[in-house]
Structure 1
Amino acid sequence: MEFKKYYLDLVLVPLSFMISISYHLWLWHKVRTQPLSTVIGTNAHGRRLWVSTIMKDNEKKNILAVQTFRNTIMGSTLMATTSILLCSGLAAVISSTYSVKKPLEDTIYGAHGEFMVALKYVTLLVIFLFSFMCYSLSIRFISQVNYLINCPQDSTIVTSMYVSELLEKSFSLNAIGNRLFYLALPVVLWIFGPLLVLLCSLVMVPVLYNLDFLFEDSKKGRVSEVANEV
């Protein structure tokens, strides 16, 4: 009977992780090969145009750039603070002498031994630590962009392309931090059983697909709007 309980965790939890990982690998492939079909690629293209426009007309738009980056830094700082606070709370729970599995062991499916409960909390701790690292690096890069975007255009080293690359690194790290937060949701549900992990992953993939991809109708609408303006 105990083996059957572990069997659910050994099958359903890796399966749910493989679903999420497979979707994000496919998304990464689409971003690399067909960037304008995804929200990530389209936004990246728009940010490059924005940086080029700001640096060309820096005397009039330097305040706009600073305010925009300030809001972005505040968002990343909030998420980094949330991540490290969750890490502190999980570390306190793991190191506590109180057995965290007692209130749940009669109500969850799957294995709920001491090792399995510790594995669940340690997995959450690692996810939030990596999320904190990504947000911290994102703040580092965007802070550099905040200075470099106001450099004079006659510089041959600090070009708009270089600043755009730094900005894209910042937003990429921020996106990875967000995805790690999304991944933490099934792991939280793993505390209550492996079946919920699989169900959560199956629901998250269609939701993320609708958020990550641009559909043909919306793209045709944008093209027609641009044609009418021209």
Structure 2
Amino acid sequence: MMSSIKFFTILLCFLVAFLYNVQSIRYYAHVSFLVVVPTFKERSDSIEYVARNLNRGSMFWSLGLRAFYLSFPLFLWIFGPIPIFVRCCVMSIVLYFLDTTTSFTRDLHCQSIREKRKETDVDA
């Protein structure tokens, strides 16, 4: 009985991840068509519509990845409580570094921008 609950939970998690990723692909494909449609500069509502759909696609992509991330600890749940606890701790640390901008990553980003500017600068 308990193993069937575990397998159902894992299956449900993968199904949710799949649906979120399909929804994100749907929004991105819709935005790719909307971007090439000509619009007037005075009409900002169509530009806002495209931006809103792009943000929705990004949100669904993020939620789909989160569901896949959650599926790894659930898979280890089959082997007992200790592997799932360890994986949840590791996953929390990984997601913390993926979701926050530390000074280290900010400095790396700024440094790459400065190097790119130096390469493209032309001496007069």
Normalising by the smaller structure, the TM-score range is 0.7 to 0.9
Give the secondary structure class of the aligned counterpart of 2:39.
Answer: coil
Query: % of aligned pairs identical?
Result: 31
Distance 1:137 1:197, change over 3 A: same
Aligned partner of 2:11 in structure 1 is 125
From 199, 203, 208, the counterpart of 2:86? 199
Residue of structure 1 equivalent to 2:22: 136
Asked if 2 retains the 8 angstrom alpha-carbon contact of 1:148 and 1:163, the reply is: yes
Q: String of CA shifts for 1:158-199, please: whole Å, max 9, x gaps.
A: 21x321211111111011111111101111111111111111
Alignment of 1:149-164 (within 5 A): 149-154=35-40, 156=43, 157-159=45-47, 161-164=48-51
Q: State the aligned residue count.
A: 113
Distance (whole Å) between structure 2 residues aligned to residue 121 and residue 173 of structure 1: 24
Q: Indicate how the Cα distance of structure 1 residues 217 and 117 shifts in structure 2: closer, same or farther if over 3 A, else same.
A: closer
Identify if the C-alpha distance between structure 1 residues 163 and 117 changes in structure 2 by more than 3 Å, giving closer, same or farther: same
Q: For residue 129 of structure 1, what is the amino acid of its counterpart? A: L
Give TM-score, length-normalised by structure 2: 0.79
Q: Deviations over 1:74-113 (max 9, x none)?
A: xxxxxxxxxxxxxxxxxxxxxxxxxxxxxxxxxxxxxxxx
TM-score by length of 1: 0.45
Aligned twin of 2:122: none
1:1-230 matches, within 5 Å, as: 115-154=1-40, 156=43, 157-159=45-47, 161-220=48-107, 222=110, 225=114
Q: Cα distance 1:220–1:182, how it changes in 2: closer, same or farther (>3 A)?
A: closer
Q: Answer yes or no: is the 8 Å Cα contact 1:151–1:158 preserved in 2.
A: no
2 CA distance for matches of 1:162 and 1:216?
34
Q: What one-letter code is carried by the residue in structure 2 that aligns with 1:154?
A: F
- 1:167 to 1:190, Cα distance in 2 relative to 1, 3 A: same
Structure 1 alignment gaps of length 5 or more: 1-114
Report the residue type matching 1:213 in the other structure.
T
Q: Quick one: which amino acid aligns to residue 212 of structure 1?
A: D
2:20 and 2:104 map into 1 onto residues whose CA distance is 34
CA distance, structure 1, for counterparts of residue 15 and residue 104 of structure 2:
40
Unaligned runs of 5+ in 2: 119-124
Q: 1:99 corresponds to which residue?
A: none
1:158 is paired with a residue whose SS is helix
Q: 1:214 to 1:122 in 2, by over 3 A?
A: same
